[in-house]
Amino acid sequence: EAGVAQSPRYKIIEKRQSVAFWCNPISGHATLYWYQQILGQGPKLLIQFQNNGVVDDSQLPKDRFSAERLKGVDSTLKIQPAKLEDSAVYLCASSLERGGTTEAFFGQGTRLTVV
Partner 1 sequence: GNSVTQMEGPVTLSEEAFLTINCTYTATGYPSLFWYVQYPGEGLQLLLKATKADDKGSNKGFEATYRKETTSFHLEKGSVQVSDSAVYFCALRFNAGNMLTFGGGTRLMVKP
Binding site for partner 1 (CB under 8 A): 3-4, 31, 33, 40-45, 48, 56, 91, 93, 95, 98-104, 106-109
In the complex with partner 1, the residue whose CB is nearer, 14 or 85, is: 85
Supply the minimum distance, in Å, between the C-beta of residue 15 and partner 1: 26
Q: Which is nearer to partner 1, 43 or 114 (CB)?
A: 43
Phi/psi of residue 109, nearest 5 degrees: 90, 160
Cβ atoms within 10 Å, residue 42: 7
Query: In terms of C-beta density within 10 A (0-12 exposed, 13-18 middle, 19 or more buried), how is residue 63 classed?
Result: exposed
Q: State in angstroms the smallest separation of the CB of 99 from partner 1.
A: 5
Toward partner 1, which CB reaches closer, 81 or 106?
106
Instruction: Check the CA dihedral 91-92-96-98 and report its sign.
Output: positive
Q: Quote the least distance from Cβ 13 to partner 1, whole Å.
A: 22
Q: What is the DSSP letter of 35?
A: E
